[in-house]
Amino acid sequence: MGAYILRRLLLIIPTLIGIMAINFAVIQFAPGGPVERVIAQVTGTDVSATARISGSGSDFAGTGTGGGGGGEDITSKYRGAQGLDPDFIKDLEKQFGFDKPPLERFLGMLRSYATFDFGNSYFRDISVLQLVKEKMPVSISLGLWMTLISYLISIPLGIRKAVSDGSKFDVWTSAVIIVGYAIPGFLFAVLLIVLFAGGSFFDLFPLRGLVSDNFADLSWWEKILDYFWHLALPLTAMALSAFATTTLLTKNSFLDEIRKQYVVTARAKGLTEHQVLYGHVFRNAMLIIIAGFPGAFIGAFFGGSLLIETIFSLDGLGLLSFESVINRDYAVVFATLYIFSLMGLLISLVSDITYMLIDPRIDFESREV
């Protein structure tokens, strides 16, 4: 196992480089950028006006317009830059690192990321790591609890449906699951707000935030209640589709195993149904559930909560990534991409190791990576 883990860890390096290279190349051809965004703010054509220029860029708004000699080439590179001082454009390029060739910028980024030096946000006066740290509690809360709740409910329900396949219980629970899967999470979130968060009916749950304004003044048990009180509606909205998917996956996996010959043999030996189900079937059937765990966790933790975070005013990593792309804050975009990709690759490795711990018959080490 040790050799396999080492190979997988070494394979992470070229995989990360490939992910970053592809996305870096795409960005080079994408319209707009941080320089154009600052130009739009200076010229008054940026209708969103959500970004703030930090560092040396905070003084750029006072830079005069008008062109000096030889400024036509550099101002023609950027949309809306005509008439601005060429030195101002050069200063912008230097601030964002665009005064260097793309390959040099990419290699410099990789060197910095190798030591987890992600620099500062382009438009916020804060380091990228600190920014991610501030948003992490929301994403951890949504991703971790949603995954745990969906698995704790879905696995027992899926097993029960497999054992009672074709019964009335299986039919009506399948109908409920399919309906739940068909409802988009964000639409269900709006429905929950209307019903329970001060909409047209009840005002039982808070509409925004992860905790109350007076959270620091609460006792420890009141803090726990307040925390889950704020999470109740977002988690319910997020877990709906995940709950359906995991339940049906568990049911089908158990059905496939129950119909195999070794189960018939176990029953013929006189083993009870409980011994057959949990002594033989459970270990084999749960492998596919474990295989889906990294994708489910990473999806809920990083990407699956954007609309939910927006609807419930939860400032997490999903909303941060979206706003960074919109604001062309490439420092945050690439840093979060690197962090998310690295964590995804590591969790995938943990999943394979869990495979071997649950079923010793599986030996990844004997395979070529």
Do 312 and 170 share a structural domain? Answer: yes
Q: Let me know whether 116 and 185 are in one domain.
A: no
By CB neighbour count within 10 A (0-12 exposed, 13-18 middle, 19+ buried), where does 88 fall? buried
Same-domain check for residues 296 and 173:
yes
Counting the structural domains of the chain, the total is: 2
User: Which of 62-76, 95-109, 110-124, 352-366 is the least confident region?
Assistant: 62-76
Q: Does residue 77 sit in helix, strand or coil?
A: coil
Q: Same structural domain for residues 292 and 171?
A: yes
| Cβ neighbours of 230 (radius 10 Å) | 22
Rounded CA separation 332/128 (Å):
6
Question: Cα separations (Å) of 272 from 254, 255, 278, 285?
Answer: 17, 18, 10, 18
The range of the structural domain enclosing residue 177 comes to: 129-326
Residue 167 DSSP symbol: S
Judge whether residue 259 has pLDDT over 90. no
How far, in Å, CA of 258 to CA of 280, rounded? 9
The strand pairing partners of 197, in sequence order, are 203
Q: How confident is the model at residue 113 (pLDDT cuts 50, 70, 90)?
A: very high
| Per-residue pLDDT tens digits for 79-109 | 656 667 777 778 877 777 777 888 888 999 9
The predicted pLDDT at position 364 comes to: 63
Residue 316 falls within a domain, yes or no?
Answer: yes
Q: Enumerate residues 6+ apart whose C-beta is below 8 A from 124.
A: 52, 54, 131, 329
Answer yes or no: is 151 within a domain: yes
Q: Is residue 352 part of a domain?
A: no
261 domain-assigned: yes
- Report the run of H or E that residue 270 belongs to, with start and end: none
Residues 6+ apart with CB under 8 A from 185: 237, 238, 240, 241, 307, 308
**133-147, pLDDT tens digit by residue?**
888 888 888 888 888
Between CA 215 and CA 224 the distance in angstroms is 10
Which of 115, 84, 297, 312 is closest to 198 using CA atoms?
312
Mean pLDDT, residues 235-246: 79
The CATH number assigned to the domain holding 317 equals 1.10.3720.10
Q: Residues 301, 167: one domain?
A: yes
75 lies in the same domain as 198: no
Residue 36: which H helix or E strand, with range? Answer: helix 34-43
Is 251 found in the same domain as 159? yes
Whether residues 239 and 286 fall in one domain: yes
d(CA 247, CA 253): 10
- Taking Cα atoms as reference points, which of 182, 124, 48, 172 lies closest to residue 331? 124
Q: pLDDT averaged over the chain?
A: 79
Q: Check whether 208 has a pLDDT greater than 90.
A: no
Please choose, from the candidates 114, 57, 47, 119, the residue with its C-alpha nearest in 3D space to the C-alpha of residue 88. 57
What's residue 50's pLDDT?
Answer: 44
Q: Find the helix or strand (DSSP H, E) in which 69 lies.
A: none
In this prediction, what percent of the chain has a pLDDT beyond 90? 9
Asked if residue 235 and residue 99 are part of one domain, the reply reads: no
In a shared domain, residues 213 and 178: yes
DSSP assigned state of 60: G
**The predicted structure's pLDDT at residue 302:** 61
pTM for the whole structure: 0.73
Judged by DSSP in three states, 65 sits in: strand
263-290 pLDDT, tens per residue?
A: 888 888 888 888 888 888 887 887 777 7
Nearest to 322 by CA among 310, 340, 313: 310
- Are 164 and 283 part of one and the same domain? yes
Q: pLDDT-derived band of residue 367, with 50, 70 and 90 as boundaries?
A: low
Do 96 and 157 lie in a common domain? no
Higher-confidence position of 339 and 54: 339
Of the three residues 91, 123, 155, the one that is the final residue of a domain is 123
Q: Does the structure show a pLDDT above 80 at 73? A: no
Give a yes or no: residue 65 inside a domain: yes
